[in-house]
Chain A
Amino acid sequence: MDERIARHPPATGGTIVTDVWTAPFWEAAARRELVLPRCAVCGTYRMPPTPFCPNCHSQSIDWIPHDGTAVLYSYTIVDRVLIDGMEGSLPYVPAIVEFPHAQGIRLITNMVDCPIGALRVDAPVDLIWIEPEPGTALPAFTLSRQQREHD
């Protein structure tokens, strides 16, 4: 098994730019709170947040706090420098997680702080917060403790 620990992604993504529809997600993230957008009229979750509910076209959104319970939907392992600034971050693991308690919407994120070789599609994962720059926070995920003990 690849025992190396998945590291935090490089801070090459630049500044997070928001608009009126996406700002609540990132403002909550800065407070280390995960909130997911749900249509206030018909209750359909959508991700990323967009101006209209694709189901009923309402523009009202409830931002629902989420405990971060998720499953690993897919991932890739980056172990090679492609651009400057990646050198200190290898290996890192861009990933997609799915929220079963939020109608299965997904977030593009990172798996961190767990052995690369223990990663499995559909594994339960837990939310943790990472700091690409001091004073910022981004949601990331790690294999759930339950999963690690099972392995």
Chain B
Amino acid sequence: MTSANSSRTICNKTAIVGVGATPYYRRGESAPQTLDELVGKAILEALSDSGLNCRDVDGFAYFSGGFDTGYLMETLGIPEVRFTASLTGTGGGSAGSIGLGAAAIVSGMADVVVCVGANQQGSQRFGAITSAYPATPGNAFFGATGLVGPGHIFALLARRHMHLYGTTREHFAEVALSARANAVNNPEARMRNPLTSEEYFNAPMLADPHCLFDFCLETDGAVAVVLTTAERARDLRRRPVEVLASTHGGSRDWGRSIYWMNMPDKVFASSGHASVAARLYAEAGVGPQDIDCAQFYDHFTSQVIMQIEDYGFCERGEGGPFVADGNIRLDGALPINTDGGQLSAGYVWGMTHVREAVEQLRGDAFNQIHDAEVALVTGGPSNLPVSGLILGRG
């Protein structure tokens, strides 16, 4: 890949050299392992995959606040860290945490950075997480309305998209059915039985217009990747996967989004990714036509459709017909969520998508896209930051 025009980008300067993951457990079934233990297992596997070891690690780049670096160093025997930082926000930063790590390496603040995400759900389910938020002046403006989970909140955006553009539940269903078809071939996916349209439409409506199959899974697990300089990557075990660009942030028009709900109309019925997407393509020096597969953060089917629009694969409002035309299937113009995604493979706050993109570009994915050279990964549409990542075969 050729570098973007400015030397002040991270394009082609770093590479993912190792990936590790725990099994994807059904919610609660990772016990009695602890959350830090899951994180440690993913990190050790990623290092082993790369040919590096704990003594090489000198940086951590997280999202959503991350983990306790001191504890991880203590238990894993990492002698010294020069960089440890997290993006703000929540799952919106998963793809962007790779950019944070790359920024540390390009600026000379670290040589080998670990990026890791993990979930472990105990008594508190993610599906009802908003009901557990502390009472704050800001939360007061949605807390009393009974919006107990993200599925209810995003349903408000979904219905507006249906109203503005004629998007239908059949379109949402195609996202769910496509994800499941991919998961059927992935032995590591949680949901491996085929899903029919009839089953989709007979499923309970959890947050109309979202039914059960429009929601992602609730999974326990951890996924880690190891990042280093492009030069060093060439001498390591695995074929490098280069970071072409990673952007995060977003526009004020999106802002706190689901906790604000005062976005301008066109931005309201979106994933909030448009500005991050534009910078991502510019910095990577590629466009939507160059993407061989995309791993979209699929907490809800409706938000996959809106991300397809925000990333320029079709016009705004055309995301429904775009998926209905078969474009997102493995043999379509834009295969997405090729491992089954968070809808059917496993939900680890977006890091499964980073893993799958790396495996596609190494050529060893379960649903391998022929000759995949460039992959797009997105972080969760949520309150800012949202984020994106473009990786290239090294």
Contacts and interface: CB of A to CB of B under 8 A. Distances in A.
Contact of A76 (B140, B152, B163): B152
Which among A22, A96, A122 has the greatest number of chain B C-beta atoms within 10 A? A96
Given A76-B155, A80-B204, A96-B156, A10 B146 contact: yes
Contacts of B32: none
Binding site of A, secondary structure by majority: helix, strand, loop or mixed?
Answer: loop
A26 B143 CA distance: 13
A147 to B, nearest CB: 16
Given A21-B137, A78-B207, A108-B261, A132 B144 contact: yes
B159 A17 contact: no
Contacts, number: 109
Interface in B107-166: 125, 127-128, 131, 135-149, 152, 155-157, 159-160, 163
Contacts of A77: 205, 207-208
A22 B137 contact: yes
Contact of B206 (A74, A80, A95, A106): A80
A36 B205 CA distance: 34
A13 interface: yes
B144 A138 contact: yes
Given A74-B163, A94-B147, A80 B205 contact: yes
Interface residues of B, number: 37
Interface in A71-101: 73-80, 82-83, 86, 89, 92, 94-96
A112 to B, nearest CB: 11
A83 B128 contact: yes
Which among A14, A26, A76, A121 has the greatest number of chain B C-beta atoms within 10 A? A76
A95 B146 CA distance: 10
A89 B146 contact: yes
A32 B295 CA distance: 48
Contacts of B135: 14-17
B160 A74 contact: yes
Nearest to A16: B140
A2 B335 CA distance: 38
Interface in A1-39: 9-10, 12-19, 21-22, 26
B393 to A, nearest CB: 42
Interface of A: 9-10, 12-19, 21-22, 26, 46-48, 54, 73-80, 82-83, 86, 89, 92, 94-96, 105-110, 121-122, 132, 138
Interface of B: 125, 127-128, 131, 135-149, 152, 155-157, 159-160, 163, 204-210, 252, 260-262
14 contacts: A13-B143, A14-B135, A17-B135, A76-B155, A76-B207, A77-B207, A78-B208, A79-B204, A80-B204, A86-B148, A96-B261, A106-B262, A121-B160, A121-B163
